[in-house]
Structures are given as structure tokens and as C-alpha cells.
Amino acid sequence: MTTGFVFALAGAALFALGVAGVVLIGHLLRRILAFNLMGSGACLVLVGLAQRHDVADPVPQAMVLTGIVVAVAATALALALVRKLHALTGQLELPDDADD
Amino acid sequence: MKRIVVVALVVTLALAFVFLLSGAMLELEPAAIDLRAPVSAHLADSGVSHPVTAVLLNYRGYDTLLEIAVLLLALLAILAVVGDTAATRPVAAHPVLQTLGRLATPLMVVVAVYLLWTGAFRPGGAFQAGAVLAAAAVLLHLVGLLPGWSTPRLRLRIGLAAGFALFLAVAAALLKQGSLLQYPPEAAGALILLIEAGLTVSLALILAGLFLFLAREEGA
Amino acid sequence: MTLAFDLLLALSLLWCGWRTLATPRLDRAIVLFITFGLLMTLAWARLSAPDIGLAEAAIGTGLTGALLLDAYGVLRRRRVEP
């Protein structure tokens, strides 16, 4: 069980935790937190699996670097939208669809 | 009642996903495509000696070009959402905090320039340097020395777009003598440093803008 | 020996992630998320990826944490004064 495997498994669990959070939590700010957990989990899987035999691999490292920067931009845009929604309607959860 | 069923279903699916994926990961064979050997074989021609920087700015330079475009688009989307409010006056913090901010900022600028330069040889590079500069700008705003940004005027717009424009110009100039972003080996190091410098400035302004364009909306 | 450290780090990552989503108080959740980012930086160091560790510490933890706390402050202030 090398370092890469340990963190790849942890990344898979984090990703599942994040997806469950995005699906089940209604509060938008917490959903953004869960989305970031998903992103971190996916990055861990990318790098951990590539290095599962303990040799550093620069290609997935470069991809994860790009991914982290794009994730922060997505988080900032999501936060701007949540703030605008709160300014316009005072709600912090998306309205439920009416049960048919 | 329905909520409990949904929660139980999602949790069960998540646990099943984790178990199946863990089982699959533990039984993976060695990868069919291993790019470590080609990366280190051509590292001498790439212009830098750190493999991650070589991958980011030489082998996969196209991805970095599009990444900076995506960041610029996200910033434009934030500007569209926030709209057109006036800048608020900065709220001055405790004098000790302000002095610490004034002391820390030049150090952070020096660290950023060092990270930019050393990216060719050691871990570092344009993204880390731009992030440190953006953190310095956020720090200055939090202690009250830098006001939040209102709608950008010409100078800020040029700064925001300069990194992407410079990268695109270098790529277009190289298109004449080969394929996109194929650096001639003798000029590769200098071109990469030039592109990284432009990226650092632009990235610092974009990342700081992600915070500072939103920071003004509370006052008005 | 290093396997024990890696396991401990991975477990604390998972625990921190779980507590981030499960705390009832939002400000505590954001601070736990910042802590999660710092633990991720340690994980990147263990995975021989110092570039990603630098970027995660500055961008993923610092900038995202500042954005989240700023948003939380604005939302709380706007809720207090109707």
C-alpha cells in the first residue's frame, strides 16, 4: 500500500462525500463547500493513481495545477451568483419544485 | 418521509461507489501510456529544467493558454453579475494590522518574483507567483489600504488582458514557423520566461479581482 | 513508518471533510474548510508534488477561504439589518 494508493483511496471517498453533499444539502454556500471537496478528491485520485508505484509523474501534476486554479475561479463565480441571489430575493436555497 | 428515503438512497450509492472504485483502483495494471520517459528525454530541449513547468508551458502550453482564457471569462462573468456600483471607501483596520500589512507586502512581492524566476529550475512558476501577489492585494484590502475595485478602467483592463494577449501573440508568431506553440529550442527558455511574466501579472490581477470586484458591493 | 503518517493524514482529511459538511454553524464550516485545504497541502507534499502544494496553499486555501469568509460576512450582515 504505497503513498499514492492511500491518497487515491482517500480521494475517491472525498469525491463521493462531495457528491452526496451537493445532492443532499440545500444551503447554497454549503453546496459550494461540497463542490470544492469533490474537486480536491478528484485531484487526489489523479495524482495518487499515477504515482501508485512511488515514481513522481509530472503530467498529472500539471493538470491538477490547472484544475485548482480553474476551481477557484468557478467558486468565485458561484459565490458572486449566491450573493446576487441573496441580494435580490433574500433566499439562500434554491426554491423547491412544487410537488406534483 | 420522502426525504429519508432520498438520503438513504444517496448514501448507499455513494458507499457503493467508493467500494467499487477502491476495488478497481487496487487491481489496476501498470499504465499502457507512461509519459514520464518522453518528458525527461526531451527536457533539455524544452527550455526549462523542471519537468512540471516544462509540461505546463511547453508540452501542454495550449492547455495553459486556454486556462488563462477561462479565468478571464470567469472574471467577466463576475463583473456582469455584480453590475455597476460605486467603489466604497476602505475601512481602516487597527494601526498594528496596517503596519503589518505594509511590512508584509514588499516581502510578498519579492517572494513572488523569486517564485516566477525559480519556476524554471525548481517547484514554482507563474501560478504560484500570481497567487502570492493576489494574496498581497487581498491582505492590503483587508487592512484598509486598498479600496475595493469598481468597474475597471483602461489601465486595469489592459493589465487583466495582457497575459492572455501576450501568450496569444507568442503563439501566433510561432505559428508562422511551425505548429502552434512550438518553441525553437534555443529561444525556448527566454520565451517561456516572457510568457510566465505576463501570466504572473495577469493572474495576480485576475485572482485579486475575483475578490476585490465583489468586495465593494456591501456598502452601497 | 511513513505509511502510518500517510494513513493518519488521509483519515484526518476525510474527517475534516465530513465535519465541514456536517457542522450546523456555517462560520465553523468555512474555517474547517480552510483547515482541510492546509491538510491537502500536506498531502501534496507527501505525494512529491510541491508545485501543487504551493498552489493549493495560496489559491485553494488562502484565496478560496478569503472569498468564502467575505461572502459569509456579507450574507450575515444583510440578514441582520433587513
Q: Which residues contact A10 (CB under 8 A, 6 or more apart)?
A: A41, A44, A48, C10, C11, C13, C14, C43
Residue C50 to residue B115: CA distance in whole angstroms: 12
DSSP C45: H
DSSP B45: G
The nearest alpha carbon in chain A to C12 belongs to A10
The answer to whether the Cβ–Cβ distance between C49 and A25 falls below 8 Å is no
- Interface probe, candidates A1, A3, A65, chain C, greatest C C-beta count within 10 A: A3
**Average pLDDT estimate for B83-107:** 84
Angle between the N-to-C axes of helices A28-50 and C26-46, in degrees from 0 to 180, rounded to the nearest 10 = 10
Report the pLDDT value the prediction gives residue B160, as an integer from 0 to 100: 93
pLDDT at C81 over 70: no
Residue B131 at interface with chain C, using a CB cutoff of 8 Å: yes
For C40-50, the pLDDT digits (tens) are 999 999 999 99
Structural domain spans, chain B? 1-30, 49-212
- Interface probe, candidates B9, B15, B17, chain A, greatest A C-beta count within 10 A: B17
The nearest alpha carbon in chain B to C76 belongs to B218
For domain A3-89, the CATH class is mainly alpha
* Coil, strand or helix at A65: helix
Structural domain spans, chain A? 3-89
The answer to whether the Cβ–Cβ distance between C67 and B214 falls below 8 Å is yes
**pTM for this model (two decimals):** 0.92
For B112-137, the pLDDT digits (tens) are 999 999 999 999 999 999 999 999 99
